Amino acid sequence: MFFISKVFKRYSFSDVLISIVNYVIGYPILLISHIFPRNRNKWVFGNKVGFLDNTKFFYIFLLENTRDRVYWITSDRNLYKDLKGKSLPVCYKYSLKGFWHLMTAYYYVCTVTTRYICYWTSGGAYKINLWHGVGIKAIGESSAALKDYSWTSKILMPYAYEKYDLFLSTSEMMNDHFIKSFRLPPMSVYEGMYPRCSFIMSDRKYVNAFIDKYEGERTKAIIDVTKKYERTYIYMPTWRLQLGDEFLKYAMPDLVKLDEVLRLSNSILLLKLHPSMKYRVEDMSSLSNIIYVSPELDVYPILPFTDVLITDYSSIYYDYLLMEHKGCILYDFDYVQYMKDEFGFIRDYKEYTPGIHVDEYENLLSLIRNKVDCTVDKRDWVIRQFWGDYRNKNNEELYRICK
């Protein structure tokens, strides 16, 4: 009853009814998928929203470096058309062609669960979870709000309990974190490098070629704008359960003043909010030096063209430090509230986020106004903790382990 009550608090009756229909159809398909012959040279990839994250970059790596058959699976028709227009192998999830490739692909590659590819066709497949962030935030139970290990939960949310043949981790510390958080068998954890991070550490020639071939005009336009300014900041806060859509009013209460500070310092700020945070873009129409980056845009091709990351408790901090000669500001204005009301941390937050910390908006503006050097002194130590021997980890090794 506990699980059911939580379901109806979160979803409407019609949503639940549609899900029940999916289960009635899905479970028989799942049984059949366990005995369906699979092609060991065929991969299917997907993501919760958009053409993003580690799955995107590993998918492109396979396209460029192997002869295997790879397909991006999506239920978003606009994304389907976009990828089709780029001549990339993509399948609409609810088509006969999509169903065929889902039933015959040996490798399923996800960043959360195979639900966003198609859990019901994944029986007998080799499941690879590339995950989507390192760090010290508590995860696991908090990443599946309805997961309670009851039989009802296991029937209605089977994807929350699926086992992976390979789970991508990045260091000894993260191995331990993921094993405990997701109850993973140690043998399934592979210590490698996130494909999206391999990309941002690539040389500029490859980055530019990648962007020309795979990114859209909006991404290219943002990158072109960054080249006109002396310094480019990017603000990427993590999601809050409590502040919701009002987050930016608390974090940056005076955007007009920030815009003026940026203009006078010949700087620009890219505002990249968490996809779960809603913001009225029209509220920024009068601002000249602040650019809103839409949630569906992949920020990783943009990151190499920025100079300073402004963040808080987000795992982007650890990714960003992999790029040399970059600065970082930890803007943790709600630290006390976050510790009290949000997910919390498995290790001491301040110790594992060395660098400049500011907890007041005026102090943040002062850093920008005075163009303060925001280099992280303990960068090498942080990288060792979260990325280990990162220079010897790459997509080639990940592919070899999977095969």
Same domain, 225 and 372: yes
Cβ atoms 133, 315 nearer than 8 A: yes
334 plus 186 within the same structural domain: no
Quote the pLDDT of residue 18. Answer: 63
Residue 208 covered by a domain: no
Within-domain flag for 6: yes
Average pLDDT value for residue range 340-359: 91
Report the alpha-carbon distance of residue 45 to residue 73 in Å, rounded. 6
Both 158 and 267 in one domain: the answer is no
Q: What is the DSSP letter of 108?
A: E
In a domain, 203, yes or no: no
181, 242: one domain: no
- The Cβ-side half-sphere exposure at 345, using a 13 Å CA radius, reads 18
Query: Are residue 181 and residue 250 in the same domain, yes or no?
Result: no
- Confidence tier at 58 by pLDDT (50, 70, 90): very high
Are residues 67 and 180 both part of a single domain? yes
Residue 351 lies in a domain: yes
- Looking at the structure, do residues 101 and 190 belong to the same domain, yes or no? yes
| CATH number of the structural domain spanning residue 135 | 3.40.50.11820
Residue 1 has pLDDT above 50, yes or no: no
Q: Is residue 333 domain-resident?
A: yes
**206 belongs to a structural domain:** no
Q: Find the domain containing 230 and state its range.
A: 216-387
Q: Can you tell me the mean pLDDT for 37-66?
A: 96
In this prediction, residue 7 carries a pLDDT of 47
Domain count across the chain: 2
Residues 26 and 115 in one domain: yes
pTM of the model: 0.91
CATH classification at residue 331: 3.40.50.12580
Q: Do 336 and 222 share a structural domain?
A: yes
Residues 143 and 239 in one domain: no
Q: Based on the domain organization, do 185 and 255 belong to the same domain?
A: no
Share of the chain above pLDDT 70, in %: 91
191 in a structural domain: yes
Q: Specify the pLDDT at position 174.
A: 97
| pLDDT category of residue 343 using cuts at 50, 70 and 90 | confident
257-290 pLDDT, tens per residue?
999 999 999 999 999 988 777 766 666 778 999 9
Same domain, yes or no: 363 and 397: no
Q: SS3 of 107, please?
A: strand
Going by pLDDT thresholds of 50, 70 and 90, the confidence category of residue 395 is very high
Exposure string over 246-265, b if 16+ CB within 10 A, otherwise e: ebbeebbeebeebbbbbeeb
Q: Please enumerate in sequence order all residues whose Cβ is within 8 A of that of 69, keeping only pairs 6 or more positions apart, or say none.
A: 39, 41, 42, 43, 89
DSSP conformation letters of 126-148:
EEEE--S--SSB--SGGGSTT--
Residue 207 lies in a domain: no
